[in-house]
Amino acid sequence: MANSYSKIHIHIVFAVKGRESQIKSEWEERLYQYITGIVQNKGQKMLAINGMPDHIHFFIGLRPDCCLSDLIREVKKASNEFINENRLTSSHFYWQEGFGAFSHSHSQIDAVVKYILNQKEHHKKKPLKMSILIS
């Protein structure tokens, strides 16, 4: 797309199937690095990634030629395989169907990055209501 310019910023959240707390602190950084690699290999820009034992958040700069649902499907499929092939959980790992996606303006980037990077502190105060986001 020659001569095209866009600033599309998307905050994505999805959960472990059944909201089980399966993402362990011992390997969550490996998972985040793996997901970041998928996002970057698809030509998108990872701005922040973090989560809790039962869900993850990430914030990306999305190119206009990318289909968000295809990207998320690939992230979930590949990261699911990564977790299971490396036997990072004692039982078979699955992501919950669906995801939440929220667009943000350029002026909100710093606030969203801070929110994502402070997930553990944030959830000490307030649990995520995924049932509202993902049904």
Phi, psi of 12 (to 5 degrees): -115, 140
How does DSSP assign 57-75, residue by residue? Answer: EEEEEEPTT--HHHHHHHH
* 29 domain residue, yes or no: yes
* 43 domain residue, yes or no: yes
- What is the domain-level CATH number for residue 39? 3.30.70.1290
The domain in which residue 65 lies consists of 8-133
pLDDT beyond 90 at 72? yes
Per-residue pLDDT tens over the stretch 107-126 = 999 999 999 998 877 666 66
Per-residue pLDDT tens over the stretch 96-107 = 999 999 999 999
Per-residue pLDDT tens over the stretch 3-48 = 777 889 999 999 999 999 999 999 999 999 999 999 999 999 999 9
* Structure token pair of residue 111: 């606030």
**Nearest-CA neighbor of 38 among 84, 80, 100, 98?**
80
* 3 domain residue, yes or no: no
Domain count, the chain: 1
* 2 domain residue, yes or no: no
* 42 domain residue, yes or no: yes
* Structure token pair of residue 9: 């910023």
* 32 domain residue, yes or no: yes
* 112 domain residue, yes or no: yes
How does DSSP assign the chain, residue by residue? Answer: -TT----EEEEEEEEBGGG-----TTTHHHHHHHHHHHHHHTT-EEEEEEEETTEEEEEEEEPTT--HHHHHHHHHHHHHHHHHHTT-SSS---BPS--EEEEE-GGGHHHHHHHHHTHHHHHHH----HHHH--
